[in-house]
Amino acid sequence: MKIFPKSIKKGDKIAIISPAGSVEPTQLEKGIEMIKSKGFEPILGEHLYTKFSNGYNYAGTEDQRLKDINWALNDNEISAVWASRGGYGCQHLLHGLNLKEFSKNPKWYIGYSDNTVIQSFLMKKGFASIHAQTIKTSSFGVTEESYDLIFDILKGKSPKYSLESSQFNKKGNIEGELIGGNLALIYALLGTKYSFDFKDKILFIEDIGENFYALDRMMMSLELAGVFTKIKGLIVGGMTNMGDEKDNKQYEESFDEFANKLISDRISKYNFPVVFDFPNGHIKDNRPLIIGSKVSLKIGEKTSLNFKK
């Protein structure tokens, strides 16, 4: 059973940090104002808007980004930590993460995409986190409900989801601990001490911008690592902008049918229940998931997902 951070209340401080890619102030204005409008105080990390180019535009050097995340996690005046964006760079920080004060006073960490590796780290240490929209909204936008549901979790209320059926679903009723996030990062952590523990878990995956052969390669790696013999169920979220560039529809489809078929074919030999087209990922309707929560998943003519502490 994972530790759930305590609920936050009006007036509490929410740290905003950039643990991976760089971000411009204009890209966060709406998100910061939203936090204020909800009655909370946004506290900006020292290097939130720093840019360091080294083959990629990072939000500062590794040391600068590590300084910000360790401050946010361990400062007792901070009640929650919200990533500005993903991109690439969170893996750089794993070796230097410090949870000394955080362990005494756990707080919610919110993010997705590259932030999956931070959430895997927290999960390994026994702490739940929120896989959800970052402060920066991408070109495909984000629904108001997606943000509202994050604030519900922060205030102690767990969401309940009911979904229409997908042709690729595999029916079944299961309970288990939810793990996962961005497939590319789950794949990147395989074989390291920071990888998720897959045994008896319900795995969530989502991704964006991968060629179909790359998607299959990642699924093959999970299969070769024995992941599919360990998990109790699989949830497949957004598969956005997948395939060759010439065939891209540029975010017109949140759930790529061929990507779903590829995943379905790859896991067809396994008997665990599977739900496709879950509204979480690099999509507009990006509803939060609680990584580390025990969930009840029922997949039939309709799908329901309920969270339990």
Q: Are 297 and 305 in contact (CB under 8 A)?
A: yes
Q: What angle do CA 155, 86, 3 make, to 5 degrees?
A: 40
282 is catalytic: yes
Q: DSSP secondary-structure letter at 88? A: S
SS3 at position 291: strand
The catalytically annotated residue of 166, 206, 210, 254 is: 206
Number of residues in the chain = 309
The token pair at 30 is 């709406």
Residue 279: φ, ψ to 5°: -80, 70
Q: Which amino acid makes up residue 200?
A: D
144 is catalytic: no
Angstrom distance (rounded) from CA 30 to CA 45 = 17
SS3 at position 72: helix
Which helix (H) or strand (E) segment holds residue 81: the answer is strand 78-83
206 is catalytic: yes
Closest CA to 3 of 109, 132, 129, 97: 129
Angstrom distance (rounded) from CA 282 to CA 284 = 7
The catalytically annotated residue of 18, 22, 113, 146 is: 113
Q: Are 298 and 173 in contact (CB under 8 A)?
A: yes
Catalytic residues: 113, 206, 282
